[in-house]
């Protein structure tokens, strides 16, 4: 089925680390803590874990299975299994990739800038003013473009020599940094207050549909689901891989990093007495509160802060790579475009779109609501219908061609057919309403 000349991962843990690299990113260390702070702490975390198990894992296994089975990029994989009628869903994936990477590049640009500045000058005393100065305008645009160039450069190197090599080198560094930082944070005065804030909650928040919407959107965003990124990576995978095992490995590593990042963020914030700032949480919170904490900590803060920002930048790079790869792989498969040209052309177009977010932080927020929440939930919903109902039992043979684990796989199919679409249909309504009111507030001046 898959054509013989298509590149493959080299075997070993290259694929797993690349997929974990896609999943672990700004979503874990920035979006997760800010969402948890905004949505009632542990209530959000519990809901997030439930959604990861009930919705995230089944969709992840579906993406892995479709990708490996077809050995093609999302658009072509959907056509391969479902015919031309399903091509638009592939188009939706590519669109989501465009929108998400465009603003993700801007956030990553801030991160890289912080990392470089921390090493060269340390953190400025007034973090809020500094963030105000760098988050919008020419500076934000320049760092975004530089980050995009790096991302394009890696993707143009190919699956084995670009993506896999970078993931093998960088993911272990990220893991060590995050765990080390959490251990350090545990020694701070105020760590206990930080943990308490992280783990206690009003449980009523669990029943709040806004919390459900954010937790589901976050699960998709953090696991890189709903737009064919995992599908694309799996298309370079060989037949022998045990896909359910990979799905569990990727999802649990992703959760572990998000959870541990919370163990870094909250103690730091409480040790420095900056908790009010987190309560008033907005998109930029982590980019103001944490640098403020590092600045207030003096010399140690500079070292710790630089390490934190480097970890964040590493996560951002390996994630951005996977976003671009979806778009590039689609162009290679559909238009027979050479990889290097596809990477620079399409990556360049995405970088230009990102300028919109670089010059206007309100647009960045809006692109996150539409791309990072609504489009992913819509993609996940459509994909579960496709895998569960259009393919159905046929899908099972693609997971384990030898018919292993039949019972567990049947349960998976039931989840894909009923549980996943039902939950996502509800979430979709709230995501669409949220995205719409953000659009309306912006263009019609109402909220
Ligand atoms: N998962 C990444 C993060 O948490 C972001 C990301 C990478 C992503 N690839 C994706 C999100 C594909 C959605 C779809 O930062």
Q: Which residue among 155, 322, 379 is best mutated to probe the pocket of ligand 1, counting the most ligand atoms within 8 A of its Cβ? A: 322
362 Cα: distance to centroid of ligand 1 (angstroms): 20
Q: Which residue among 19, 100, 370 is best mutated to probe the pocket of ligand 1, counting the most ligand atoms within 8 A of its Cβ? A: 100
Angular region, 292: left φ>0, alpha ψ -120 to 50, beta rest: alpha
Q: Is 255 in the pocket of ligand 1 (CB under 6 A)?
A: no
Mean pLDDT of successive 10-residue segments in the chain (447 residues)?
71 94 93 82 88 96 96 96 96 97 97 94 92 94 98 97 96 96 94 88 80 90 97 94 95 95 90 71 72 90 94 97 97 96 98 97 92 94 97 88 78 96 95 92 73
Q: What's the per-residue H, E or C state across the chain?
A: CCCCCCCCCCCCCHHHHHHHHHHCCHHHHHHHHHHHHHCCCHHHHHHHHHHHHHHHHHHHHHHHHHHHHHCCCHHHHHHHHHCHHHHHHHHHHHHHHHHHHHHHHHHHHHHHHHHHHHHHCCCCCCHHHHHHHHCCCHHHHHHHHHHHHHHHHHHHCCHHHHHHHHHHHHHHHHHHHHHHHHHHHHCCCCHHHHHHHHHCCCHHHHHCHHHHHHHHHHHHHHCCCCCCHHHHHHCCCCCCCCHHHHHHHHHHHHHHHHHHHHHHHHHHHHHCCCHHHHHCCCCCHHHHHHHHHHHHCHHHHHHHHHHHHHHHHHHHHHHHHHHHHHHHHHHHHHHCCCHHHHHHHHHHHHHHHHHHHHCCHHHHHHHHHHHHHHHHHHHHHHHHHHHHHHHCHHHHHHHCCCCCCHHHHHHHHHHHHHHHHHHHHHHHHHHHHHHHHHHHHHHCCCC
Instruction: Report pLDDT for 2.
Output: 42
Q: Which residue among 18, 21, 23 is best mutated to probe the pocket of ligand 1, counting the most ligand atoms within 8 A of its Cβ? A: 23
208 Cα: distance to centroid of ligand 1 (angstroms): 25
Q: Is 323 in the pocket of ligand 1 (CB under 6 A)?
A: yes
Residues whose CB falls within 8 Å of the CB of residue 193, separated by 6 or more in sequence, listed in order: 267, 270, 275
162 Cα: distance to centroid of ligand 1 (angstroms): 18
273 Cα: distance to centroid of ligand 1 (angstroms): 31
Instruction: Report pLDDT for 65.
Output: 96
Report if pTM > 0.85: yes
The CA–CA distances, whole Å, from 92 to 17, 22, 228, 244 equal 26, 19, 10, 26
319 Cα: distance to centroid of ligand 1 (angstroms): 6
CB atoms near residue 91 (< 10 Å): 14
344 Cα: distance to centroid of ligand 1 (angstroms): 20
Answer yes or no: are the C-beta atoms of 223 and 251 closer than 8 Å: yes
Q: Is 74 in the pocket of ligand 1 (CB under 6 A)?
A: no
Q: Domains in the chain and their CATH numbers?
A: 16-443 (1.20.1740)
Q: Which residue among 147, 262, 319 is best mutated to probe the pocket of ligand 1, counting the most ligand atoms within 8 A of its Cβ? A: 319
* Measured distance CA(317)–CA(155) in Å, rounded: 11
Instruction: Report pLDDT for 205.
Output: 78
Looking at the CA of residue 323, tell me the nearest atom of ligand 1.
9
Instruction: Report pLDDT for 282.
Output: 57
Instruction: Report pLDDT for 270.
Output: 86
């Amino acid at each position: 089925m898959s054509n013989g000349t298509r590149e493959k991962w080299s075997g070993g843990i290259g694929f797993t680390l690349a997929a974990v690299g896609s999943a672990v990113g700004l979503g874990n260390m920035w979006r997760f803590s800010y969402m948890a702070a905004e949505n009632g702490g542990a209530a959000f975390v519990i809901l997030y874990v439930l959604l990861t198990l009930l919705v995230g894992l089944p969709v992840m296994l579906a993406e892995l299975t479709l990708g490996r089975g077809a050995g093609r990029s999302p658009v072509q994989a959907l056509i391969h299994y479902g015919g031309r009628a399903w091509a638009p869903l592939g188009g939706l994936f590519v669109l989501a990739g465009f929108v998400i990477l465009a603003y993700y590049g801007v956030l990553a640009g801030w991160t890289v800038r912080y990392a470089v500045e921390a090493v060269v000058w340390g953190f400025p005393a007034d973090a809020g003013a500094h963030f105000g100065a760098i988050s919008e305008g020419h500076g934000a645009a320049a760092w975004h473009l530089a980050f995009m160039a790096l991302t394009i450069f890696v993707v143009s190197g190919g699956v084995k020599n670009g993506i896999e090599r970078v993931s093998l080198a960088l993911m272990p560094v990220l893991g060590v940094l995050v765990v080390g930082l959490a251990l350090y944070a545990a020694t701070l005065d105020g760590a206990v207050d930080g943990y308490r804030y992280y783990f206690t909650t009003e449980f009523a928040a669990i029943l709040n549909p806004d919390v459900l919407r954010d937790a589901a959107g976050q699960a998709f965003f953090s696991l890189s689901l709903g737009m064919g990124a995992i599908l694309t990576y799996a298309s370079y995978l060989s037949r022998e891989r045990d896909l359910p095992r990979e799905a569990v490995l990727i999802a649990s590593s992703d959760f572990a990093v998000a959870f541990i990042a919370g163990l870094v963020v909250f103690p730091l914030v409480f040790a420095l007495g900056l908790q009010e700032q987190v309560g008033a949480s907005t998109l930029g919170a982590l980019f103001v509160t944490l640098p403020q904490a590092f600045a207030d900590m003096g010399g140690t803060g500079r070292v710790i802060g630089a390490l934190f920002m480097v970890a964040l930048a590493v996560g951002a790079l390996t994630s951005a790579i996977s976003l671009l790869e979806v778009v590039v792989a689609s162009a290679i498969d559909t238009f027979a475009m050479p990889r290097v040209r596809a990477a620079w052309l399409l990556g360049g177009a995405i970088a230009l779109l990102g300028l919109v977010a670089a010059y206007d932080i309100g647009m960045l927020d809006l692109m996150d609501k539409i791309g990072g929440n609504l489009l992913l939930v819509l993609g996940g919903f459509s994909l579960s219908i496709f895998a569960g109902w259009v393919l159905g039992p046929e899908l099972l043979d693609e997971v384990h061609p030898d018919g292993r684990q039949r019972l567990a796989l049947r349960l998976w199919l039931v989840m894909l057919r009923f549980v996943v679409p039902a939950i996502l249909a509800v979430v979709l309504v709230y995501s669409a309403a949220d995205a719409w009111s953000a659009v309306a507030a912006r263009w019609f001046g109402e909220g």
